[in-house]
Structure 1
Amino acid sequence: MINKKEIKNKINSVLNTKKITRAMEMISVIKMKKSKVKINLIQPYLNTLEKIICNLSNVIRNKKEKSLFFFQKKIKKIIFIVFLSSKGLCGNLNTNLFKHFLLYLKESIFGKFSFKIIIFGKKESIFINQLKENIQEYNFNFYKNFNFFTVKNFSNKIFQNYKKKKFHEIFIVYNKNCNKKKYIPIIEKLFPIQRNSKKSLSKNSWDYIYESDSSLLYENILNRFCTIKIYHSILENLINEYSSRIIAMKNATENSATLIQDLQVIYNKSRQFNITQELTEIISGASVVLMD
């Protein structure tokens, strides 16, 4: 029979683990709520920017103007910006994203285009081992100082590099939030802007009145769009991370409770066995005395 002290130590250890997982679950709930507040604040602004850019896209195409933000004749170099989780213990969030990304690379990129990858977030050996030759930057500490201004600085750098034609397409790779328990890995083209046929305008559609050079306004708007879109994608990925961690920690807490019950049964059996053994020894001893 297992020593009672060992069982008691195991029960205490699992109890401590249960407290930690419960605390991590509550922390993730609070962080997720904060991220949702941020994303709800910028969503109207992003929606308005997307409508403006959609109109500009159709106006430029109808006027047959040339803009590298809306047209790219020759695609040679592509940059992928991948957002992983800030930490671990969030289920298969990163693994699913990697599988989806790798499948896309095999089907559409490998052997056709030159590409580089910028990765932000948790260090994942699966990325490093399989795509290390294409990784341009891997920032593990991005989320430690994460805020809108750090995103803006990074976005401005990417925007200027695209403007200088250092690469011809920009993609962002992240987990898109569907609901509390569902997310989908997504690869979204940032530049050049894709035309949405459902929102396309007729040849006689209206245009904006510009108070300065239209090309400068285009760049200003598109630069803002780039920043907001990247910031929005990071927040969506964080919401999915916290949601996955809540589920993982909730399951861990429930499993801990079940394990404690099982250990308590074993402890009670061990205790009962020891009591029975002691009673048997006392009775045996008493019988020997009476016989004498």
Structure 2
Amino acid sequence: MAGIKEIRTKIKSVQSTSKITKAMEMVAASKMRKAQDRMRAGRPYATKVREIAAHLMQANPEYSHPYMQERSEIKAVGVILVTTDKGLCGGLNTNISRLTLARLKEFEQQGIKVQFTAFGSKGAGMLTRIKANLVSQEVGLGDAPNLERLIGALKVQLDDFVEGKIDAVYVATSRFVNTMRQEPSFIRLLPLPSGLKDPFQAGADESAQEVKSQYGWDYIYEPDAQSVIDDLLLRYIEGVVYQAVAENMASEQSARMVAMKAASDNAKKVIGDLKLVYNKTRQAAITKEISEIVGGAAAV
């Protein structure tokens, strides 16, 4: 009977785990809808800022913002790694970390130095373990992105780019495609591409869509064109990073919901298998007891 008690204990344990994963699945589904709404709400803002900035630069071709200037030689780059603060979201963090490490290896083979900014504790922990050059980080972002918390860590990379310490800045994040699919993306943030291509349209600079204008634009500036373009491009950079974090949060909740559903389904399967073993073991024990009783009665 000891075997029956052990199986019964295992069944209760798996049932308890199944209740937890089912609850986490429902919570993730609720948060996923909110995260997707925030992600989609941020896209029109980034699109409009990108269009206006592109039009302003077309109207003022004589002014080249530092964010737009290509460097003749790439000696050092900055990478902003966006991950989650919590686990239990399938291979989301693993995929983006694997892509980031692959790009890091490519940079090192070319003799390019890399400095990192981490948004999310999982990425910060990974970079710390490999002893990467982590210049800034922001963890504990919660369920909703907060631009005020992102600006401080982001400014370290922007200042280094303007001062010439690094020659390019990249963003590594998980791009939300749909509930079942999240793609790891490595996007070039600085220098900004000509025409201000949409980095999230196709997930890569090479195939991103470029803002094109069919009309000539004549603006009235206050105080002047340079100040307006400077502020607008800074807001655009902040908007891209905010969108990257929002995309990652939507991907996180979707991946967690799918992972918890898979865990709940597996728990049901394990419970079914354990119950089958339990019934067979119990039946064998009862048959043995009956045989012993019959044998004892026959001996008497």
Shorter-chain TM range is 0.7 to 0.9
Residue 163 (structure 1) shift: 3.8
- Residue aligned with 1:193, SS: coil
CA shift in 2, pair 1:159/1:133, >3 Å: closer
1:17-48 C-alpha deviation (Å, 9 max, x unpaired): 10111111111111111111212222211110
Pair member with larger Rg: 1
Q: How does 1:62-77 map to 2 (within 5 A)?
A: 63-74=61-72, 75-77=74-76
2:253 corresponds to which residue? 242
* Mapped partners of 2:103, 2:265: distance in 1: 37
1:170 corresponds to which residue? 169
Q: How does 1:253-268 map to 2 (within 5 A)?
A: 253-268=264-279
2:41 corresponds to which residue? 41
1:257-280 C-alpha deviation (Å, 9 max, x unpaired): 011011111111111112111211
Give the AA of the match of 1:69: Y
Query: 1:57, 1:195 within 8 Å by CA — same for their partners in 2?
Result: no
1:56 corresponds to which residue? 56
* Mapped partners of 1:139, 1:155: distance in 2: 9
Residue 234 (structure 1) shift: 0.5
2:90 corresponds to which residue? 91
- Residue aligned with 1:171, SS: strand
Residue 160 (structure 1) shift: 4.4
Q: CA RMSD in A?
A: 2.6
Percentage of pairs with the same residue: 30
1:226 corresponds to which residue? 237
Residue 226 (structure 1) shift: 1.9
1:274 corresponds to which residue? 285
1:163-205 C-alpha deviation (Å, 9 max, x unpaired): 4444332211101111111121111122221014854558x93
2:81 corresponds to which residue? 82
* Mapped partners of 2:2, 2:179: distance in 1: 43
Q: Unaligned 5+ residue runs, structure 2?
A: 198-209
Query: 1:175, 1:240 within 8 Å by CA — same for their partners in 2?
Result: yes
* Mapped partners of 1:254, 1:168: distance in 2: 49
Higher mean Cα deviation, 35-44 or 227-236? 35-44
Per the normalisation by structure 2, the TM-score is 0.84
CA shift in 2, pair 1:154/1:119, >3 Å: closer
Query: 2:63, 2:226 within 8 Å by CA — same for their partners in 1?
Result: no
Query: 2:76, 2:112 within 8 Å by CA — same for their partners in 1?
Result: yes
CA shift in 2, pair 1:250/1:145, >3 Å: closer
- Residue aligned with 1:211, SS: coil
- Residue aligned with 1:189, SS: strand
Query: 2:222, 2:228 within 8 Å by CA — same for their partners in 1?
Result: no
Residue 153 (structure 1) shift: 4.0
Q: How does 1:157-236 map to 2 (within 5 A)?
A: 158-196=157-195, 198-200=210-212, 205-236=216-247
Higher mean Cα deviation, 106-115 or 76-85? 106-115
Give the AA of the match of 1:192: P
Q: Is 2:161 the counterpart of 1:150?
A: no
- Residue aligned with 1:183, SS: strand
- Residue aligned with 2:67, SS: coil
Aligned positions, number: 285
* Mapped partners of 2:156, 2:127: distance in 1: 24
1:4 corresponds to which residue? 4
- Larger RCO (CA under 8 A, 6+ residues apart): 1
2:202 corresponds to which residue? none
Query: 2:35, 2:144 within 8 Å by CA — same for their partners in 1?
Result: no
2:29 corresponds to which residue? 29
Deviation >6 Å, runs of 4+? none
Residue 237 (structure 1) shift: 0.6
CA shift in 2, pair 1:148/1:175, >3 Å: same
Query: 2:143, 2:249 within 8 Å by CA — same for their partners in 1?
Result: no
- Residue aligned with 2:13, SS: helix
* Mapped partners of 1:35, 1:201: distance in 2: 32
Q: How does 1:89-168 map to 2 (within 5 A)?
A: 89-107=88-106, 110-123=109-122, 127-130=127-130, 132-143=131-142, 147-156=146-155, 158-168=157-167
Query: 1:121, 1:141 within 8 Å by CA — same for their partners in 2?
Result: yes
CA shift in 2, pair 1:282/1:29, >3 Å: same
- Residue aligned with 2:173, SS: strand
* Mapped partners of 2:292, 2:221: distance in 1: 101
CA shift in 2, pair 1:147/1:57, >3 Å: same
